[in-house]
Amino acid sequence: MTALSICEIEEDVIAILARQLLLPVTDIDPKARIDELGLDSLGKVEAIFALEERFGISIPFNANAPDQPDFGFASVPEIVDGVARLVAGRA
């Protein structure tokens, strides 16, 4: 698998979030906070599974402590950065 750019990761993260929110990708601001988007806890878990499947990674996420330092899930940029770190660590 070729290395993914941050832009490619961001596109895929936004596409996954849009799918969970039943929104067009154009409605997802690349700087948006997840709470502002209205993603509920089940949607977050489903998004995490989709991210893991898409990128071949394992996301260290605890639903009881969503803001733990291992993987930030509070905003689109945090998710993109976390995915990029995990993908880079896999190489």
Mean of all residue pLDDT scores within the chain: 89
Task: Provide the percentage of residues in the chain whose pLDDT is more than 90.
Answer: 76
Residue 44 lies in a domain: yes
Q: What is the CATH number of the domain that holds 86?
A: 1.10.1200.10
Residue 1 lies in a domain: no
Residue 75 lies in a domain: yes
Domains: count for the chain? 1
Please check whether residue 68 is in contact with residue 59, taking contact to mean a CB–CB distance below 8 angstroms: no
Residue 26 lies in a domain: yes
Residue 23 lies in a domain: yes
Predicted confidence at residue 41, as pLDDT, reads: 87
Confidence category of residue 16, pLDDT binned at 50, 70, 90:
very high
Tens of pLDDT, residues 23-33: 999 999 999 99
Residue 37 lies in a domain: yes
Tens of pLDDT, residues 18-60: 999 999 999 999 999 999 999 998 999 999 999 999 999 999 8
Cα of first residue to Cα of last residue in the chain, in angstroms, is 9
Q: Which domain holds residue 47?
A: 6-90
